[in-house]
Amino acid sequence: MPLLKSNLAIAKIACVNAHSSINQLTTDLTKVSYTSDRIKQEIKLEKIRDLSFDFRSQIARKPNTSRLAAICYEKMFLSKLAIACKIGGSNELSSHAFEFLAKRRLFPIELSFAHYPLKGIIYHWFCILDRDKYSDLQNPESWGANAIICDPLTRLVLPATEYEEKYQPILEQSEATSLGVEIRIDSTQDLDGFNWSYDQSHEAQQILSDLDDLD
């Protein structure tokens, strides 16, 4: 229980930190009004995501770079690009929180998503801390006593045991039907040699320079 309380507190700080760094752009389609400004924001956001994915491809081609490391670099850069543009949805906010928590070695940690098949390929992203690796992802009750959901977009941080009561209704409003995981880090050994300061590299600066084309 002390571990749960401590990790809940740190996860809440991660949410606050994400919101203080990135302006929120809701990804809940039931609340979207497509004004011209909103459309411009959506275009800018898609450009940011394209840039970060291109960066993952560049990193993945480097020798001795694992798929896990390439995805982590991508998410880290997505966060940096969102900060530079002051715009982000659940993907960017959760990537920022994921980096914040991973740097503090709160393992195991997952960058997860909810899928909305009835509305096309749309995801709502969030983080999961301390989920039992062999538990049923679709059954949060099985995740373990210390498992935590950290969702910066909705500003919710709660034990997974409260998923059904407090979190599932939010996802069901947008017809989410399944959960998935893009990244899971179990320990520091999973990312041996990973450089959390890599955003100062030449490649990062080149990507950031492309943001001049977004306005």
110 contact partners, CB below 8 Å, separation of at least 6? 127, 128, 129, 131, 181, 183, 184, 185
Q: 92: how many CB neighbours lie within 10 A of its CB? A: 32
**Residue pLDDT, tens place only, 27-84:** 544 455 567 777 777 788 888 888 888 888 888 888 888 999 999 989 998 888 888 7
Predicted confidence at residue 202, as pLDDT, reads 55
Predicted confidence at residue 42, as pLDDT, reads 79
HSE-up of residue 175 (Cα within 13 Å, Cβ side):
9
- pLDDT score of 174 more than 70: no
Give the global pTM: 0.88
- pLDDT score of 198 more than 80: no
Among 80-84, 158-162, 186-190, 195-199, the least confident range:
195-199
**Residue pLDDT, tens place only, 107-129:** 999 999 998 766 655 678 999 99
Nearest C-alpha neighbor of 12 from the set 155, 165, 126 = 155
Both tokens of 32, joined, read: 């979207």
Nearest C-alpha neighbor of 157 from the set 2, 14, 3 = 14
Cα 103–Cα 14–Cα 107 angle in degrees, nearest 5: 40
Predicted confidence at residue 39, as pLDDT, reads 77
The structure tokens 């275009």 sit at 43
- pLDDT score of 188 more than 80: yes
Q: Amino acid identity, residue 114?
A: A
Predicted confidence at residue 201, as pLDDT, reads 43
Give the residue with greater pLDDT, 56 vs 140: 140
Predicted confidence at residue 82, as pLDDT, reads 85
Domains of the chain: which residue ranges? 2-213
> How far does CA 129 lie from the centroid of its chain?
12
- pLDDT score of 189 more than 70: yes
Give the residue with greater pLDDT, 196 vs 58: 58
- pLDDT score of 10 more than 50: yes
The per-residue pLDDT of the chain, averaged, comes to: 84
DSSP 155-176: TEEEEGGGIIIIIHHHHHHTT-
* % of the chain residues with pLDDT over 70: 84
Predicted confidence at residue 85, as pLDDT, reads 79
Residue 106, SS3 per DSSP:
coil
The structure tokens 């992802």 sit at 137
Question: Do residues 50 and 161 make contact, with C-beta atoms less than 8 angstroms apart?
Answer: no
Question: Do residues 74 and 55 make contact, with C-beta atoms less than 8 angstroms apart?
Answer: yes
Average pLDDT over residues 78-97: 89
